[in-house]
Every structure is written in C-alpha cells, then in structure tokens.
Amino acid sequence: MKEPYNERPTICILYRDDGISLRQVKAGIEEEGLFYTLQQEQGDCVSLGLKARKSSALGVGIGIDAMSLTLFVDGLEKPLLTMRLTSSNGRQIGSNAARYIKGLPLK
C-alpha cells in the first residue's frame, strides 16, 4: 500500500535483522538529508526490496537480508544495485538511494 501523499514521502526499507548494516543504511540516507520508513519482515533481499519499492511514495525501496542488500527504483523490475553485505557498504547503499532521488551520480 503506497503512503498517502499528504505525508512526507520516504524511502522504504524492509529488513530481516536489526543489525549494523541496517544502521549504516539509515545513516547513509539521513546524511543526504532524506527520510525513510522501516519494517522488519521475513524474506530474501530481492523480494523485500521489490515490496519496499512498491510501498514507497518516492518509488525507492531497499531490501536487506542476512547476506545482501538490494536497491529497487521505479521503472526497473530488477534491482538497480545488489551488494553483498560487508562491514561498511550499508552506508553506500543508503547514500545511493538518496542520491538517486536527488538526481546525483551514485557513489
């Protein structure tokens, strides 16, 4: 269900476990000055990411499972980015999700 338009439009993040990577993704988005909503759910990063995108009024969703992250954007049925989780790349994906919305080149 898409967010109603009288509320602030956000990037939607669906995640399996609350851990370091989730915190990094949130930090990446926040540092770029954008907003997010969170939901914990079961599933793999691809199905989570796709579902997240469909719930986001900005049309941008991030899916995080135990091993990987995906970034889905409106207009693309496959992920714009898929990355294996490392100790530091959560920040990069969060940042890129926000930069995508701002029209800036991705890091």
Partner 1 sequence: MKPYAGVDIGNSTTEVAIGMKDASGQLTFLGVGSAKTTGTKGTISNVTGVVTALEKALEDASLTRSDLGLIHINQAAPVIGDSAMETITETLITESTMVGHNPDTPAGEGVGIGITIDILDINRSDKTLSYLALVEDMDYEEVARRINELIQAGYKISGVVLQKDDAVLVHNRLETSCPIIDEVYGIHKIPRHRLGAIEVATLGKSIQTLSNPYDIATIFKLDSSETKRVLPIAKSLVGNRSALIVRTKGGEVIEKSIPAGKIYLIEEEKSHLVDVDEGANKIMEALKGTKSLQDVKGEKDTNIGIMLDSMKEHLGRLTNKEMDHIRVNDLLAVDSLRPIKIQGGIAGEIAMEKAVSLAAMVKAKGLPMLQLASAIESKLGITTRVIGVEAIMAAVGALTTPGTALPLTLCDMGGGSTDFAYIDHNGHVFTKHLAGAGNMVTMLINMELGLEDFYLAEKIKKLPVAKVESLFHIRMESGQVTYVKDPLPPTLYGRLVIIDGTDYIPIHHNVTMEKVITLRKEAKKRVFLSNINRGLHMLEQEGLSCSTMVLVGGSALDFELPGMLLDHLSRKGITVGRGNIQGKYGPRKAVATGLLLMQEGNSYEGAL
Contacts of 71 (CB under 8 A, 6+ apart): 49, 60, 61, 62, 79, 80, 81, 82, 93, 96, 97, 100
Query: Of all residues in the chain, what percent are helix, strand and coil, respectively (each to 5)?
Result: 35, 25, 40
Residue 87 as a binder of partner 1 (CB under 8 A): the answer is: no
Both tokens of residue 15?
């995640």
| Of 32, 53, 70, 90, the one binding partner 1 by CB under 8 A | 32
Contact stretch for partner 1 (CB under 8 A) within 5-13, 25-33, 40-48, 62-70: 25-33
Residues 63-82 that bind partner 1 (CB under 8 A): 73, 75-76, 80-81
Residues forming the site for partner 1 (CB under 8 A):
27, 30-33, 73, 75-76, 80-81, 99-100, 103-106
